[in-house]
């Protein structure tokens, strides 16, 4: 069985994240880049299955600038067998449609039984890619899974939405996305880090996948405006001297909030 | 059929597990009315008699007409029946935009629909408008630090709309119900084996879309003491939220988590109790109109965004606040 895990390099949320106001792209120099935590959890689901079943191959897939290679390698150090990195300057600023088409082409090229993604990245928070890939790959989508069971020919799990919890199952091949309810990822150890250096790491361009990034005949979504919001400023801060609760009540009443 | 409005905006209505119109519908129809003529689509199971009721509720919320697709598949298959229905409706209506709730279900439907029809998609919009060239979606990203606008190069834009973000409401219109035959695509779907409605034990407002939110953090210390958060929330008619730390500590279920990986809220009032204010938490609440914080630590980052902060013990400040509010009601 071949499991492809989509991984994403994102700006670390522990720091300030910036967008370039000229291009609208993430300012990668402004903050530390890390492997998205939800990507790590997605990888953990695949690695846990690979550890409990025979003949499971885990492949990492990422579409990101060349500079993200080191971040993707972390996934190899954690235990994935190989990585496919689509790095092409022409894909910078790709909208969701182009991103999905490119990733789907790479997934087809690699071959797959199961694709695992995080439910929401911490930067774009789009949360639509798993469904888009499923449609393009003509397979079922089972998203937002908070538990996952994988067998030789199916995947099932629990899916909780705002107002209902359901049990779902799909035959393989399929695309699933997982939530942060799933376990934390294992840490790469020294042996893993050393082994990662020898693992296959393939770098592809859009052309390798038969994708034409500037194809104007395909409708796309474009950013038409960007502005930085002035940072929120602190208001009044008092130290409780026995009347803190009363003071809050006064603030609420004054501002017609209570 | 050629009698659909030229400026039609197709709105996918969400229904509750019991077949009622979901709360997100009024905001979606309100948004649609800002940029064109709202045409609603409901996908429901046959034989329950939901269609008429849904059309009535949709018309009351501003739908010019309501298309209803009845199919059993909606109870057994994930996402695909709604996408098939949406594709059929979009083919008939030729809308300028398709508005879908940015819920888990909505995002899946929007994603598959956009991929199937090669339509550009704008996710998690907090507003929509129309200029000379078409429909524009507004977004708030990186935890509210930036505002963006996006649009389609051509053709209809698929927009998922953040729940509770649209305040505008459309005027009620006469009921117009139209049944649409489903053209099943035969696309392979995930099977829904069982569904359980998540019953909220209380009559408190839902966190998503709430106008007032009271949240508690690790500072509450235990699940028992977290009741103080609920008590204040009830005094204010507010929804109950929590930081990830409080959820991880087991004080409250995960569906109350506010922040980067939980629910994003933009209420009129957000009260943070015993929450330090990690960036991940602030990302989910700093677009609130008014923020009040109570925390023992004077250096807690939550005070950097609070309009009114009290450095003190939540267990003395909050009970006093609750009785002051009760006093006023008398």
Q: Which of A130, A219, A257 sits opposite B155 (nearest CB)?
A: A219
Where is average pLDDT lowest: A248-257, B164-173, B198-207, B243-252? B198-207
Give the dihedral sign, CA B155/B161/B165/B170: positive
**pLDDT score of B169 more than 90:** yes
pLDDT at B119: 97
Contact of B316 with chain A, judged by CB distance below 8 Å, is answered with yes
Interval A159-177 mean pLDDT: 91
Q: Which residue has the tokens 């509010």?
A: B325
Angle B255-B259-B265 from CA coordinates, rounded to 5°: 80
Inter-chain CB pairs, A–B, below 8 Å: 284
pLDDT digits (tens, 9 = 90+) for B121-162: 999 999 999 998 899 999 988 777 788 999 999 999 999 999
Contact of B211 with chain A, judged by CB distance below 8 Å, is answered with no
Task: Choose from A233-242, B49-58, B83-92 the range with maximum mean pLDDT.
Answer: B83-92
Contact of B257 with chain A, judged by CB distance below 8 Å, is answered with no
Closest CA to B148 of B166, B130, B125, B131: B125
**pLDDT score of A115 more than 70:** yes
Contact of B18 with chain A, judged by CB distance below 8 Å, is answered with no
Counting residues of chain A whose pLDDT is more than 90, the rounded percentage is 71
Closest CA to B278 of B304, B296, B255: B304
The b-or-e profile of B262-292 (16+ CB within 10 A means b, else e) is bbbbbbebbbbbbbbbbbbbbbbbbbbebbb
pLDDT at A17: 78
Looking from the CA of B82 toward its CB, the CA atoms found within 13 Å total 30
pLDDT band at residue A258 using 50, 70 and 90 as cut-offs: confident
**pLDDT score of B201 more than 60:** no
Largest CA distance in chain A: 70
pLDDT at B199: 65
Contact of B147 with chain A, judged by CB distance below 8 Å, is answered with yes
Domains of chain B: 8-179 (3.40.50.620), 212-329 (3.40.50.1220)
Burial of A199 (0-12, 13-18, 19+ CB in 10 A): middle
**pLDDT score of B46 more than 60:** yes
> Using the 8-state DSSP alphabet, how is residue B172 labeled?
P
Cβ contacts (< 8 Å) between B130 and chain A: which residues? none
In CATH, the architecture of A2-209 is: 3-Layer(aba) Sandwich (3.40)
Q: Which residue has the tokens 């210390």?
A: B221
Cβ-based neighbour number of residue A35 at 10 Å: 23
Contact A131, B79 (CB under 8 A): yes
pLDDT band at residue A19 using 50, 70 and 90 as cut-offs: confident
pLDDT digits (tens, 9 = 90+) for B173-186: 999 999 998 878 89
State the average pLDDT for chain B.
91
Question: What is the least distance, in Å, from the CA of A238 to any CA of chain B?
Answer: 5
Closest CA to B219 of B282, B107, B302: B302
> Using the 8-state DSSP alphabet, how is residue A208 labeled?
G
State the average pLDDT for chain A.
92
**pLDDT score of B260 more than 90:** no
DSSP characters over B253-298: -GGGBBSTTSB----SEEEEES----HHHHTTTTT-SEEEEEES-T
Contact of B254 with chain A, judged by CB distance below 8 Å, is answered with yes
Interval B304-328 mean pLDDT: 94
pLDDT digits (tens, 9 = 90+) for B274-289: 999 988 898 889 888 8
Where is average pLDDT lowest: A144-158, A216-230, B80-94? A216-230
Q: Which residue has the tokens 């849904």?
A: B54
Cα distance between residue A42 and residue B282, in whole Å: 25
pLDDT at B252: 93
pLDDT band at residue A250 using 50, 70 and 90 as cut-offs: very high
- Global ipTM: 0.90
Counting residues of chain A whose pLDDT is more than 70, the rounded percentage is 99
Over the Cα atoms of chain A, what is R_g?
22
Cα distance between residue A183 and residue A238, in whole Å: 40
The b-or-e profile of A39-75 (16+ CB within 10 A means b, else e) is bbbbbbbbbbbbeeeeebbbbbbbbbbeebbebbbbb
pLDDT at B330: 67
Cβ neighbours of residue B163 closer than 8 Å, sequence gap 6 or more: B23, B24, B27, B101, B102, B103, B208, B209
Residue B147 phi/psi, 5-degree rounding, is -110, 135
Q: Which two tokens stand for residue B276?
A: 């330090």
**pLDDT score of A16 more than 90:** no
- Contact between chains at A224 and B280 (C-beta distance less than 8 A): no
Interval A49-66 mean pLDDT: 95
Where is average pLDDT lowest: A89-93, B13-17, B80-84, B170-174? B13-17
pLDDT at A210: 96
pLDDT digits (tens, 9 = 90+) for B264-274: 888 889 999 99
pLDDT at B202: 59
Counting residues of chain B whose pLDDT is more than 90, the rounded percentage is 73
Cα distance between residue B87 and residue B107, in whole Å: 15
Contact B314, B274 (CB under 8 A): yes
Indicate the length of chain A as a whole number. Answer: 258
Indicate which of B210, B271, B310 best probes the interface with A, i.e. most A CBs within 10 Å of its own CB: B310
**pLDDT score of A198 more than 60:** yes
pLDDT at A15: 67
Interval B77-106 mean pLDDT: 96
Over the Cα atoms of chain B, what is R_g?
22
**Helix, strand, or coil here: B277?**
coil
pLDDT at B2: 52
Domain ranges of chain A: 2-209
Contact A159, A145 (CB under 8 A): yes
> Using the 8-state DSSP alphabet, how is residue B258 labeled?
B
């Amino acid at each position: 069985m071949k499991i492809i895990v989509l991984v994403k390099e994102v700006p670390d949320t522990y720091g300030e994240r910036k967008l370039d106001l000229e291009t609208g792209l993430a300012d990668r120099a402004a903050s530390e880049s890390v492997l998205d935590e939800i990507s790590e959890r997605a990888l953990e689901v695949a690695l846990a299955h690979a550890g409990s079943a025979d003949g499971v191959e885990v492949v990492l897939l990422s579409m990101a600038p060349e500079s993200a290679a080191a971040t993707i390698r972390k996934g190899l150090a954690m235990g994935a067998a190989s990585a496919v990195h689509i790095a092409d300057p022409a894909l910078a600023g790709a909208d969701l449609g182009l991103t999905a088409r490119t990733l789907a082409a790479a997934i087809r090229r690699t071959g797959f039984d199961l694709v695992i993604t995080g439910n929401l990245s911490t930067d774009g928070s789009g949360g639509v890619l798993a469904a888009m890939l499923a449609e393009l790959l003509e397979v079922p989508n089972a998203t937002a899974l908070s538990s996952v069971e994988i067998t030789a020919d199916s995947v099932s799990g629990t899916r909780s939405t705002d107002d209902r919890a359901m049990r779902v199952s799909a035959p393989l091949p399929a695309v699933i996305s997982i939530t942060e309810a799933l376990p934390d990822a294992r840490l790469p150890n020294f042996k893993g880090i050393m082994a990662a250096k020898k693992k296959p790491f393939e770098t592809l361009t859009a052309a390798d996948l038969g994708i034409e990034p500037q194809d104007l005949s395909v409708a796309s979504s474009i950013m038409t405006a960007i502005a930085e919001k002035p940072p929120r400023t602190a208001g009044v801060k008092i130290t409780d001297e026995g009347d803190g609760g009363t003071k809050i009540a006064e603030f609420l009443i004054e501002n017609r909030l209570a | 059929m050629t009698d659909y409005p030229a400026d039609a905006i197709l709105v996918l209505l969400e229904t509750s597990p019991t077949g009622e119109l979901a709360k997100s519908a009024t905001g979606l129809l309100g948004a649609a009315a800002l940029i064109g003529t709202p045409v609603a689509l409901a996908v429901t199971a046959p034989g329950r008699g939901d269609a008429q009721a849904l059309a009535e509720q949709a018309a009351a919320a501003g739908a010019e007409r309501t298309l209803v697709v009845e199919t059993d598949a909606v109870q057994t298959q994930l996402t695909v029946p709604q996408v098939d229905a949406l594709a059929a409706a979009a083919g008939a209506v030729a809308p300028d935009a398709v508005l879908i709730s940015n819920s888990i279900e909505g995002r899946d439907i929007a994603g598959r629909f956009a991929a199937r029809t090669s339509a550009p998609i704008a996710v998690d919009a907090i507003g929509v408008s129309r200029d000379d060239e078409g429909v524009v979606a507004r977004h708030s990203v990186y935890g509210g630090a930036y505002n963006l606008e996006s649009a389609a190069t051509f053709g209809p834009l698929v927009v998922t709309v953040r729940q509770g973000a649209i305040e505008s409401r459309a005027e009620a219109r006469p009921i117009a119900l139209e049944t649409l035959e489903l053209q099943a695509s035969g696309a392979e779907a995930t099977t829904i084996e069982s569904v359980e409605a998540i019953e909220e034990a209380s009559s408190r407002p839902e966190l998503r879309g709430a106008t007032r939110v009271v949240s508690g953090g690790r500072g509450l210390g235990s699940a028992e003491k977290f009741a103080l958060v609920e008590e204040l929330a009830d005094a204010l008619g507010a929804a109950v939220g929590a930081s990830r730390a409080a959820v991880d500590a087991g004080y409250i279920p995960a569906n109350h988590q506010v922040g980067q990986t939980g629910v994003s809220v933009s209420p009129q009032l957000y009260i943070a109790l015993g929450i330090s204010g990690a960036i991940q938490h602030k990302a989910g609440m700093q677009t609130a109109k008014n923020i009040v914080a109570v925390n023992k630590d004077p250096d807690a980052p939550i005070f950097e965004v609070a309009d009114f902060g009290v450095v003190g013990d939540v267990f003395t400040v909050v009970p006093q606040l609750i009785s002051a509010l009760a006093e006023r009601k008398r």
